[in-house]
Amino acid sequence: MYLVIAICASPLLFSYLAYYVIKPTGRTNYGTLLDPRLYPMPKLNAQLLGETSAVQELDAYKGKWIMLEVISSDCAKQCQKSLYDMRQLRLTQGKDMDRIERVVLITDQQPLETMLLREHDGAHFLRIDPKVLQAWLPVEDGTTMQDRLYLIDPLGNLMMRYSVDADPNKIKKDIIKLLKASSIG
């Protein structure tokens, strides 16, 4: 009888030990978590590139996860690789890829290469005043907004940032965990 009681009580005992005694030592996310209260989403008054050229706000994409990148019109090799990685990160989500929108903010008034728009069909390219972004997006000393990939949750909260040259496989794992844990978006 004691053996049966010990077998039945052992999962409870092990779960108690795992939760209260053995604490995880590492962090589980790859990106840098941001406090959304410090970075409320401003009105961007961004101009959507394309046929309509209408004024667009990020609120238009609320309800979906947003991968946000800031570029200049002369998108060099690193910029193109980053846009490619962003596209592939969305595609690797399989059936959940419709929960993610790609938004690219352009900070100057120079024309953007048409081929870049075609290669990244489905991404939303918005032209924006860089002063608005500087007041909103956080950067560390020695970096710029163009050095980061930002993640915005379906409620419109800026919540995570990655380095542009971050490992896409690790970012993918973060996104998979977020989409699995999130019932919105």
pLDDT band at 52 (very low <50, low <70, confident <90, very high): low
Q: Is residue 12 part of a domain?
A: no
The Cα 14–Cα 18 span in angstroms is: 6
CATH, residue 108:
3.40.30.10
0.75 exceeded by pTM:
yes
Q: Is residue 17 part of a domain?
A: no
Going by C-alpha positions, the residue among 125, 168, 173 that lies closest to residue 149 is 168
Q: 132 with 51: CB under 8 angstroms? A: no
User: Is pLDDT at 76 greater than 90 in this prediction?
Assistant: no
Q: Is residue 94 part of a domain?
A: yes
Q: Is residue 22 part of a domain?
A: no
Q: pLDDT per residue over 110-158, tens digit each?
A: 988 888 889 999 999 999 999 988 889 988 878 888 889 999 999 989 9
End-to-end CA distance of the chain: 51
pLDDT above 70: percentage of residues in the chain? 97
Counting the structural domains of the chain, the total is 1
pLDDT band at 24 (very low <50, low <70, confident <90, very high): low
